Amino acid sequence: MGKKQNYNKAYNEYWYQLFGYANNILRSSQDAEDVTQEVFLDLWNRLDDLSIKHYKAYLFKAVKFQCAKRLRSKPFTEVILEKIEAVLTADITDETEDVEENKALLLKKIDILADDLLPERCLRIFKLRFKESLSYKEIAAVLNISTSTVDNQISKALKILRESEVYNSEMMLLQFVLIGILSAQC
């Protein structure tokens, strides 16, 4: 069978699986579709230069790296932090010890960074939100402040952390840990 026939077979056989895999990582069907198409387009463009024995393994690895690249280019927002928190607290059975160690270390580094960079009030609100998992309304009640003040302080904390080079490098590492977790789940 020729390379173009192998390509067509791989496209027809794996496109939906790869799309689902990318969507599981990126949590965006549009981004997942883009990544899947980019991988197949790149494969088509390099078809004559490549010698692939196992298309499935090659394609899943390519999608994984494209997802990591796309995640690196996105700014971290509160919503993304909440998704990370949800994934980190999920029950993972594969490679649990290594993953748990990496997660704990990365979260500890981010926690230390927050302690170093954030003003006292901002830090307290940030910790109530992300360590204690309190809602904005609950934080406002505990601190006797308005929910808009909570929102402003969380936004300020995230902005300060996003602008930190250390935070950005730690979040990149966390993304790779998460991709490893999601890969193990697929």
Report d(CA 113, CA 153) in Å as an integer: 16
Q: Please, is 159 exposed, middle or buried when counting C-beta atoms within 10 Å of its C-beta (0-12, 13-18, 19+)? A: exposed
Report d(CA 92, CA 171) in Å as an integer: 20
pLDDT for 168: 54
Domains and CATH numbers, the chain: 3-73 (1.10.1740.10), 78-185 (1.10.10.10)
Predicted TM-score of the model (pTM): 0.45
Question: Which tens digits make up the pLDDT trace of 96-153?
Answer: 455 556 566 666 777 777 888 889 999 999 888 877 888 889 999 999 999 999 989 9
> Cα Rg for the chain, rounded, in angstroms?
20
Residue 33: pLDDT band by 50, 70, 90 thresholds? very high
